[in-house]
């Protein structure tokens, strides 16, 4: 079976009703990224940051995977698929994808402020208990915090992602402005003779010195087109 690596960003979930970050009306127009998505912001005002992610988590209950997520999952009928996502939602999981690397963390999980990447500290929240508060403690006794990789923090999953991308026979990039590193640098690890498809309704600042095929559509329509093509080629 050929291997496909799908790299996804906020545009993947846009048609599910989750705002992107940098489009007009995006989250970073409503909030200052340095306040709610940086380690310095968290240290300055933990309550603001914890509440911001409580709100994001609540929103997750009211959305569902779109056709794009479903077709990414359906690729597994024909290919060995790894999804590398910058998204913290769980829509790839809910659509049925089985191998997912969350580069920027997971909204439904919380962890310790002292050792955020220690697996013993990471807990999954349940729909009937979605909020955390200042004063809630992780198993190690430190403040419980969202399991999110903030600006200023290491991205521990990047090595797994690089390893997957280096094995890709085909790479599909969906809905990311490729502004945030190290995620944006992953396309450089795609082997030279493996094609790259980009699904995004807008032009993207592509800095990797290699060709790609741009399907200038949203995630669902773009995946419909690409799914048919790849299915017939495999
Ligand atoms: P951005 O908001 O930067 O980019 C979203 C991309 O999705 C843009 O290229 C849009 O054109 C595209 N898009 C919009 N609607 C779409 C649709 N219906 N179908 C497909 N694509 C669509 O989001 P990311 O690149 O994911 O990190 O942002 C990367 C990181 O920056 C995030 O993970 C987050 C943010 O700060 C953290 O918070 C740590």
Predicted model pTM: 0.96
Q: Which atom of ligand 1 is nearest to the CA of 20?
A: 2
Identify the residue whose tokens are 């997750």. Answer: 60
Nearest CA to ligand 1 atom 29: 180
Question: b vs e for 208-231, b when ≥16 Cβ sit within 10 Å of the residue's Cβ?
Answer: beeebebbebbbbbbbeebbeebe
* Ligand 1 atom 9: residue of nearest CA: 177
Q: Encode pLDDT of 54-111 as tens digits.
A: 999 999 999 999 999 999 999 999 999 999 999 999 999 999 999 999 999 999 999 9
Rounded Cα distance, 77 and 111, in Å: 34
Cα(211) to centroid(ligand 1), Å:
21
| Pairing relationship of beta strands 213-215 and 3-8 according to DSSP bridges | unpaired
119 with 109: CB under 8 angstroms? no
Q: Is the pLDDT of residue 233 over 90?
A: no
Which residues are the active-site residues? 104
At residue 234 the predicted structure's pLDDT band, cuts being 50, 70 and 90, is confident
Of the listed ranges 17-31, 102-116, 118-132, the least confidently predicted one is 17-31
Q: Ligand 1 centroid to 223 CA: how many Å?
A: 17
User: How remote is the CA of residue 23 from the centroid of ligand 1, in Å?
Assistant: 8
Q: Are 53 and 76 in contact (CB under 8 A)?
A: no
Antiparallel, parallel or unpaired: β 144-148 and 105-112: antiparallel
pLDDT at site 65:
98
Could you report how far apart the first and last alpha carbons of the chain are, in Å?
8
Long-range pairs of 150-155 with CB within 8 A, sequence gap ≥ 24: 150/37, 150/38, 150/39, 150/41, 150/42, 151/33, 151/34, 151/37, 151/38, 151/39, 152/38, 152/39, 152/40, 153/39, 153/116, 154/117, 155/103, 155/104, 155/182, 155/183
The whole-number pLDDT of residue 23 equals: 87
Say what percent of the chain tops pLDDT 70: 100
Confidence of residue 195 (pLDDT cuts 50, 70, 90): very high
pLDDT band at 182, cuts 50/70/90? very high
- What's the CA gap between 218 and 234, in Å, rounded? 24
Assess contact for 177 and 207: CB atoms under 8 A. Answer: no
Other Cβ atoms less than 10 A from the Cβ of 103: the count is: 23
Per-residue model confidence as pLDDT tens digits over 211-229: 999 999 999 999 999 999 9
35 pLDDT above the threshold of 90: yes
> Residue 28: what pLDDT?
84
In the chain, the domains with their CATH numbers are: 1-17+65-104+154-234 (3.40.50.1220), 19-62+111-148 (3.30.1600.10)
Contacts of 130 (CB under 8 A, 6+ apart): 54, 57, 58, 61
pLDDT of 26 reads 86
User: How high is the mean pLDDT of the chain?
Assistant: 96
Residues within 6 Å of ligand 1 by CB: 9-11, 14-15, 20-23, 26, 33, 37, 86, 104, 149-151, 174-177, 179-180, 199-202, 204, 218-219
């Amino acid at each position: 079976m050929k291997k496909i690596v799908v790299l996804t960003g906020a545009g993947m979930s846009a048609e599910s009703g989750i705002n992107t970050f940098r489009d007009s009306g995006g989250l970073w127009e409503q909030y200052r990224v340095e306040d709610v998505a940086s380690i310095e912001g968290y240290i300055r005002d933990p309550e603001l940051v914890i509440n911001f992610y409580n709100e994001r988590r609540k929103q997750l209950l009211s959305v569902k995977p779109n056709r794009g997520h479903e077709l990414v999952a359906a690729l597994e009928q024909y290919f060995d698929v790894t999804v590398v996502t910058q998204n913290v939602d769980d829509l790839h999981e809910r659509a049925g994808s089985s191998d997912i690397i969350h580069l920027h963390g997971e909204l439904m999980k919380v962890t310790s402020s002292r050792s955020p990447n220690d697996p013993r500290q990471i807990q999954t929240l349940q729909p009937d208990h979605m909020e955390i508060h200042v004063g809630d403690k992780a198993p190690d006794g430190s403040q419980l915090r969202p399991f999110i990789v903030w600006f200023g923090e290491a991205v521990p999953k990047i090595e797994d992602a690089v390893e997957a991308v280096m094995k890709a026979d085909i790479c599909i990039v969906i809905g990311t402005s490729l502004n945030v590193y190290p995620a944006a640098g992953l396309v450089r690890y795609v082997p030279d003779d493996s094609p790259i498809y980009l699904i995004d309704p807008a032009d993207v600042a592509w800095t990797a010195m290699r060709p790609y095929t741009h399907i200038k559509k949203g995630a669902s329509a773009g995946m419909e087109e690409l799914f048919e093509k790849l299915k017939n080629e495999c």
